[in-house]
């Protein structure tokens, strides 16, 4: 599944770049291009109750042998000591809670809890008390009959589930959510009925139990039949309804309704009763009743259609291959389609509303190319006869990999060459490549439980770049990986409240919390690192073996390591132990910073865990995860030196520190993490930093663009962590005057943008203005060279929108005037803006305009039929500098007829990233928290994103206290990790300002002097 917030628009980058929130404003600047990562975690203390019991036992042992007076004395003394200790403990605990800004969010192990019996709504005890289903029954097949009414939004249906008995049992427990069971039966193979003594539902665990009058026989098959009813709600999960407006043949706009599904992680149970766990694979057959004006889609092709009472029709579909319930999908709509087929005769079709189907041609071409390529890449044939791709008007995720029936947001599948930008086009290709990778990695072979979600998402997030590279190699996708995925994951994993890639998931709804940059981007990054030291051929051999061995079944992370280890040994790499290496990257959170110190011809290397802010002992209680490896990693180190700049060296660092020899050669500089393939940061001694700074100033192309970007990103984050002086990062970034490559410039603007943002919110106008002028001076020549003509290759277009966006953001007079002129020409003469300049022009027009410009953009938003265009306009509207207009836009998010529910959180996030709107956005979220909780539910990552709104710009102790008070007094069960992450991020902002604000002022004064003659610098560069 593709996370929706990975697609963020930013003035310092191409208008897309990603939809995956993913993506986090926590550890990275909202002004960067990167999808912002979600960081989570915490480690608790022992329960207080456990620390009291030993003390009680010792006091009791003192009393039996005492005289009466002595006994009384000792008892009184002991009780006194006991009271003192308990009082002290309570005081220390309260002090801890007050000194740690998020002490109230301690892991539950800090609190005493009493296990409650599962009590049903009727007051009876439910006979099963585990969130996981009992293992007594194994489903084999489902026959599903559904009748959704798209006028009344009522749903009726029945499901027949064939099960095999693995253990003796006298009950059948399955999942039901927001459905009413109207009748149930259990039948033997000879059609005899097993008596049902009682039926109970336990809503908290979303389970339904049939208590039987006899035990079921081990090894025998039975059929569980359930009739049910429900509603087609608009909650973006389960089997839900969506509405859209389409223009008919007469040019009249009509409101249309469709019904579609979104089941991952645990919402198939909201569409039909089922055994809703990923390891419980079965086959599925569907009978869907519909009106004549509608058509239906399922994971498998339609077999035939029968007439149905009431003038209706029933579509009967072929039986599926064995698959998990979360991959089942069915859709009822009046969509049109475009069709083709692959060279191996797999039918491929894209479905969309009739007036948007002409935007589906590019997706159809990409789908055919990628599907054909992946069959060769994975070495395993695609096992289904067809592949449908569907554009859904209301969709909570970015896309969903339902087997053979992939659903997408319209921005992720529809492309209009006249309206959409190069980044919109690339996004369509990326998301298709991502979801198609899942057809093998996730669908064909599925994780056993949600703790290995990263195995699905991390892998697809890596392979999407390879698939997209096949579509358009000129886009240099693997170069872009550094700024879009690697740097995003490093930022996300820099907080003490991160989490391991492989993380225990108790309740299925908790999986929503790990649809984040750790599972996606870090997962992709460590697989890229693994492929780098294994080699592409060996890596692919291991993947093919893994898929062939576990196809149509389930697997765990260790199964992948085993297959790759065998492939490595077969390739003669017998010294490798893949599991030993990779466990240090998946079973502990965080990553290392490697400090490199030169001593003549030797290099002293030392690894430590990298953290953005030194952990406070007072806040140690919130750490949820401890490291089984003492925060040490087995690191595949690579490096080059000035003596051998193209001769990459590789070694594995498996200790805290080591020393290596450079063969009696003392180079001018060394650069570690060649091509940025490793998931670690590097710090150098001052002399080596100075040598690298000099190298970039003299000949920056001596290092490739990935290495240049890596140096910049490491330097800015090392400063934030207090491991490098700010002066070094500012001296390093000065070379950017000569930089013309998109990836390093995007990285530099991300680091500088974080500084500028904090200075702006500090209301230090002089210092902020000087910082803006410094940034503009770095970009001066590049602004002139890229110009305003929308031309060039993909990365040139990205560079142009990035640089011009920054120019307008930071007040470059000529750029702002040009953007305003293009906006006014569009507004007054309807002269279209070039697709790749739209975000820059729209946003600048709204920022520097008034109510007329805002109203014009809103009118364009409401009438636009291209989803990518609507997104650009929404971003521009959020950047108004008029507080009243910003408030109006926020109010509109409560009305789904104005802003779709799927776009509400994105809109609020856009507002929260601006200097005018960040406080307004937080006040709005606070006032409407319950409304959003009712709308999105406790299992939605939307609530986590709303909890992160303050992290984008808050940077004072007062603001931290305010955020803490809100979280402490409201239901944040849907966003507890996000709340911890938010408060730690605010702390890192405070920490940076305390350590570096004065240094910025001093550096600018000493190194960014006015030109000769003493004239003040001007933004008119």
Q: Tens of pLDDT along 413-445?
A: 999 988 999 999 999 999 999 999 999 999 999
Please give the structure tokens belonging to residue 770. 């000087």
Segment among 233-242, 488-497, 651-660, 1009-1018 with least mean pLDDT:
1009-1018
For residue 465, the number of C-alpha atoms closer than 13 Å in the C-beta half-sphere is 22
d(CA 635, CA 590): 13
Q: How far apart are CA 142 and CA 150, in angstroms?
A: 24
- So what's the pLDDT on residue 508? 65
Q: In this structure, are strands 681-684 and 592-599 parallel, antiparallel, or unpaired?
A: parallel
Active site annotation includes 435: yes
Q: What is the pLDDT of residue 615?
A: 63
Distance CA(490)–CA(36), nearest Å, equals 11
pLDDT at 1009: 55
Dump pLDDT digits (tens) for 142-180.
999 999 999 999 999 999 999 999 999 999 999 999 999
State yes or no: pLDDT of 397 exceeds 90.
no
- pLDDT of residue 507 exceeding 80: no
Average pLDDT over the chain reads 86
Question: Measured between alpha carbons, how far is 944 from 976 in angstroms, rounded to an integer?
Answer: 8
Lowest mean per-residue pLDDT among 209-218, 510-519, 882-891:
510-519
Q: Which pLDDT score, from 0 to 100, does residue 49 have?
A: 24
> pLDDT class for 646, splitting at 50, 70, 90?
confident
Residue 547 CA to its chain's centroid (Å): 25
What is the arithmetic mean of pLDDT over 621-631?
A: 75
Query: Lowest mean pLDDT: which of 291-295, 791-795, 971-975?
Result: 971-975
pLDDT at 936: 81
Q: Which helix (DSSP H) or strand (DSSP E) does residue 409 occupy?
A: strand 405-409
Kindly report the three-state secondary structure assignment for every residue of 798-837.
Answer: HHHHHHHHHHHHCCCHHHHHHHHHHHHHHHHHCCCCCHHH
| Distance from C-alpha of 708 to C-alpha of 525, rounded to nearest angstrom | 18
pLDDT at residue 387 is higher than 80: yes
CA 213 – CA 134 distance, rounded (Å): 18
DSSP string, 657-708: EEEEE-TT---S-EEESGGG-SS-EEEE-HHHHHHHHHHHHHHGGGS-HHHH
Pairwise CA distance, residues 512 & 514, whole Å? 5
What would the DSSP string read from start to end of 827-874? HHH-PPPPGGGHHHHHHHHHHHS-HHHHHHHHHHHHH---HHHHHHHH
Q: How confident is the model at residue 516 (pLDDT cuts 50, 70, 90)?
A: confident
The residue with tokens 């140096």 is 711
Give me the pLDDT at residue 647, please.
Answer: 78
Angstrom distance (rounded) from CA 466 to CA 470 = 6
Cα 829 to chain centroid distance, Å, stands at 41
Question: How far is the C-alpha of 801 from the C-alpha of 794, rounded, in Å?
Answer: 11
Predicted pLDDT of residue 672: 96
Of residues 479, 411, 435, 522, the one with CA closest to residue 798: 479
The pLDDT of residue 459 is 92
253-286 pLDDT, tens digit per residue, is 788 999 999 998 899 999 999 999 999 999 999 9
The pLDDT value given to residue 17: 35
The C-alpha atoms of residue 461 and residue 840 are separated, in whole angstroms, by: 28
pLDDT at 939: 55
Tokens 């750790």 sit on residue: 518
CA 46 to mean position of chain CA atoms: 31
Dig out the tokens for 84 from the structure. Answer: 């003192």
Predicted pLDDT of residue 53: 27
- The helix-helix angle for 976-1007 and 742-761 (nearest 10°) equals 90
Helix (H) or strand (E) holding 351: strand 347-352
288/83 Cα distance (integer angstroms): 69
Tokens found for residue 631: 């925060």
> What sign does the CA torsion over 813, 818, 823, 825 have?
positive
- The pLDDT score that the predictor gives to residue 926 is 95
- The Cα 491–Cα 590 span in angstroms is 10
DSSP state, 252?
-
pLDDT, one tens digit per residue, over 555-592 is 999 999 999 999 999 998 878 899 999 999 999 999 99
pLDDT of 487 over the 50 cut: yes
The confidence score (pLDDT) of residue 105 equals 41
The pLDDT of residue 334: 93
The separation between CA 395 and the C-alpha centre of its own chain, rounded to angstroms, equals: 16
What pLDDT does residue 27 have? 34
**Is the per-residue pLDDT at 82 higher than 70?**
no
Would you state the pLDDT for residue 762?
82
Q: What is the mean pLDDT of residues 196-223?
A: 95
Predicted confidence (pLDDT) per residue in 544-553, tens digit? 999 999 999 9
Give the alpha-carbon dihedral of 265, 269, 274, 280, to 10 degrees.
10
3-state secondary structure of 392: strand
Q: Are 717 and 691 in contact (CB under 8 A)?
A: no
- Percent of the chain whose pLDDT exceeds 90: 71
Nearest to 903 by CA among 928, 948, 872: 872
Higher pLDDT: 619 or 829? It is: 829
List 40, 419, 435, 853, catalytic entry: 435
Task: Indicate whether 78 pLDDT > 60.
Answer: no
More confident residue, 671 or 27: 671
Length of the chain: 1021
> For residue 622, what pLDDT band results from cuts at 50, 70 and 90?
low
pTM passes above 0.85: yes
pLDDT(4) > 60: no
Q: Give one word for 828, left, alpha or beta, with left for phi > 0 and alpha for psi -120 to 50.
A: alpha
Per-residue pLDDT tens for 741-794?
Answer: 999 999 999 999 999 999 998 878 899 999 999 999 999 999 999 999 999 999
Q: Over 60: is that where the pLDDT of 956 sits? A: yes
The whole-angstrom separation of Cα 743 and Cα 451 is: 33
Q: Scanning the structure block, which residue is given the tokens 């930022």? A: 491
pLDDT given for residue 191 in this prediction: 86
Tens of pLDDT, residues 806-848 = 999 999 999 999 999 999 999 999 999 999 999 999 999 999 9
Model pLDDT for residues 96-128, shown as the tens digit of each residue: 333 344 344 433 333 333 457 888 888 899 999
User: Quick check: 995 pLDDT over 90?
Assistant: yes
**For residues 173 and 128, is the Cβ–Cβ distance under 8 A?**
yes
**What pairs with residue 262 in β-bridges?**
238
Amino acid 688: pLDDT:
96
Burial class of residue 169 (count of CB atoms within 10 Å of its CB; 0-12, 13-18, 19+): middle
Yes or no: say if 963 and 982 are a contact pair by the CB < 8 Å rule. yes
| pLDDT confidence of residue 121 | 87
Look up residue 457 and give its two tokens.
């998402």
Half-sphere exposure of 19 (CA within 13 A, CB side): 28
- Judged against a pLDDT cut of 70, whether residue 63 lies above it is answered with no
- The pLDDT, as a whole number, for residue 764 is 82
């Amino acid at each position: 599944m593709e996370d929706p917030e990975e697609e963020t628009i930013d003035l310092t980058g191409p208008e897309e770049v990603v939809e995956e929130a993913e993506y986090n404003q926590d550890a990275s600047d909202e002004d960067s291009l990167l999808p912002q990562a979600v960081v989570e975690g915490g480690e608790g203390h022992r329960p207080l109750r456990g620390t009291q019991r030993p003390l009680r036992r010792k006091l009791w042992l003192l009393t039996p042998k005492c005289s009466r007076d002595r006994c009384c004395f000792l008892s009184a003394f002991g009780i006194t000591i006991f009271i003192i200790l308990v009082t002290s403990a309570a005081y220390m605990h309260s002090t801890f809670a007050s000194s740690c800004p998020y002490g109230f969010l301690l892991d539950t192990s800090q609190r005493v809890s009493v296990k409650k019996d599962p009590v049903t709504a009727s007051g009876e005890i439910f006979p099963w008390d585990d969130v996981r289903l009992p293992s007594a029954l194994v489903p084999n097949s489902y026959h599903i009959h559904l009748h959704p009414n798209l006028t009344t939004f009522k749903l009726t249906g029945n499901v027949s589930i064939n099960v095999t008995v693995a253990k003796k049992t006298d009950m059948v427990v399955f999942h039901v959510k927001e459905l009413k069971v109207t009748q149930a039966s259990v039948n033997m193979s000879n059609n005899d009925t097993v008596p049902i003594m009682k039926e109970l539902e336990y809503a908290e665990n979303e389970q339904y139990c049939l208590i039987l009058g006899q035990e079921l026989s081990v090894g025998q098959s039975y059929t569980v039949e359930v009739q049910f009813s429900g509603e087609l709600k608009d909650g973006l999960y389960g089997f839900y309804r969506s509405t859209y407006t389409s223009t008919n043949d007469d040019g009249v706009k009509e409101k249309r309704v469709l019904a579609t599904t979104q089941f991952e992680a645990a919402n198939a149970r909201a569409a039909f009763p089922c055994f809703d766990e990923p390891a419980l694979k079965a086959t599925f057959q569907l009978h869907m009743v519909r009106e004549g004006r509608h058509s239906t889609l399922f994971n498998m092709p339609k077999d035939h259609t029968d007439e149905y009472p009431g003038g209706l029709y029933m579509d009967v579909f072929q039986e599926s291959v064995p698959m998990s319930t979360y991959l089942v999908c069915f859709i009822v709509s009046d969509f049109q389609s475009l069709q083709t087929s692959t060279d191996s005769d797999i039918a491929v079709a894209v479905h969309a509303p009739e007036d948007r189907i002409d935007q589906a041609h590019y997706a159809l071409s990409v789908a055919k190319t990628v599907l054909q390529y992946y069959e060769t890449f994975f070495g395993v044939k695609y096992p289904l006869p067809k592949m449908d791709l569907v554009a859904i008007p209301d969709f909570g995720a970015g896309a969903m990999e339902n087997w053979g029936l992939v659903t997408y947001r319209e921005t992720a599948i529809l492309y209009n060459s006249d309206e959409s930008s190069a980044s919109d086009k690339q996004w369509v290709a990326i998301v298709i490549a991502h979801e198609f990778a899942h057809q093998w990695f996730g669908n064909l072979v599925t994780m056993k439980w949600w703790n290995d979600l990263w195995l699905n998402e991390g892998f697809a997030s890596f392979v999407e770049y390879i698939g997209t590279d096949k579509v358009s190699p000129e886009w240099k996708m693997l170069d872009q990986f550094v700024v879009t995925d690697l740097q995003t994951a490093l930022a996300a994993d820099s907080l003490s409240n991160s989490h391991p890639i492989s993380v225990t998931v108790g309740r299925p709804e908790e999986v929503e919390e790990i649809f984040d940059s750790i599972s996606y981007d870090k997962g992709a990054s460590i697989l890229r690192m693994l492929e780098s030291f294994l080699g592409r051929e060996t890596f692919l051999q291991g993947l093919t073996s893994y898929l062939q061995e576990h196809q149509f079944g389930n697997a765990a992370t260790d199964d992948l390591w085993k297959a790759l280890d065998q492939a490595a040994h077969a390739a003669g790499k017998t010294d490798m132990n893949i599991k030993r290496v990779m466990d240090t990257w998946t079973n502990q959170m965080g990553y290392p910073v490697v400090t490199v110190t030169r001593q003549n011809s030797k290099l002293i290397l030392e690894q430590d865990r990298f953290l953005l802010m030194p952990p406070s002992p007072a806040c140690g209680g919130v750490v949820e995860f401890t490291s089984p490896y003492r925060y040490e990693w087995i690191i595949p180190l690579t490096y080059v030196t000035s003596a051998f700049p193209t001769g990459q060296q590789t070694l594995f660092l498996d200790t805290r520190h080591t020393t290596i020899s450079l063969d009696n050669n003392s180079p001018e500089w060394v650069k570690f993490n060649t091509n940025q393939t490793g998931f670690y940061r590097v710090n150098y001694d001052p002399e080596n930093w100075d040598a690298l700074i000099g190298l970039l100033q003299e000949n920056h192309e001596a290092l490739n663009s990935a290495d240049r970007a890596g140096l910049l990103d490491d330097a800015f984050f090392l400063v934030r962590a207090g491991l490098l002086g700010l002066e070094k990062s500012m001296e390093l970034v000065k070379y950017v005057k000569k930089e013309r490559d998109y990836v390093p410039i995007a990285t530099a603007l991300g680091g500088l943008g974080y500084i500028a943002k904090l200075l702006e919110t500090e209301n230090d106008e002089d210092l902020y203005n000087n910082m803006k002028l410094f940034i503009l001076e770095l970009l001066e020549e590049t602004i002139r060279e890229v110009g305003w003509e929308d031309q060039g290759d993909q990365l040139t277009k990205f560079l142009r929108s990035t640089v011009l966006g920054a120019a307008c953001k930071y007040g470059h007079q000529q750029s702002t005037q040009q953007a305003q002129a293009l906006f006014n020409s569009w507004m007054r003469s309807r002269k279209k803006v070039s697709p790749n300049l739209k975000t820059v022009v729209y946003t600048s027009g709204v920022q520097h305009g008034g109510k007329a410009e805002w109203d014009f953009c809103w009118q364009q938003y409401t009438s636009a039929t291209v989803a990518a265009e609507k997104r650009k306009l929404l971003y521009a509207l959020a950047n108004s500098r008029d507080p009243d207009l910003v408030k109006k836009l926020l109010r509109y998010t409560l009305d789904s007829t104005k802003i779709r529910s799927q776009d509400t959180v994105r809109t609020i996030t856009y507002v929260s990233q601006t200097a005018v709107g960040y406080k307004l956005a937080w006040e709005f979220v606070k006032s409407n928290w319950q409304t959003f909780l009712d709308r999105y539910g406790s299992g939605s990552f939307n609530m986590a994103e709303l909890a992160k709104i303050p992290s984008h710009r808050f940077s004072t102790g007062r603001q931290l206290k305010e955020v803490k008070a809100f979280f402490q007094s409201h239901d944040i069960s849907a966003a507890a990790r996000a709340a911890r992450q938010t408060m730690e991020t605010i702390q890192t902002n405070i920490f940076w300002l305390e350590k570096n604000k004065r240094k910025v002022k001093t550096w600018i004064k000493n190194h960014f002097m006015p030109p000769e003659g003493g004239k003040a610098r001007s933004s008119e560069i």
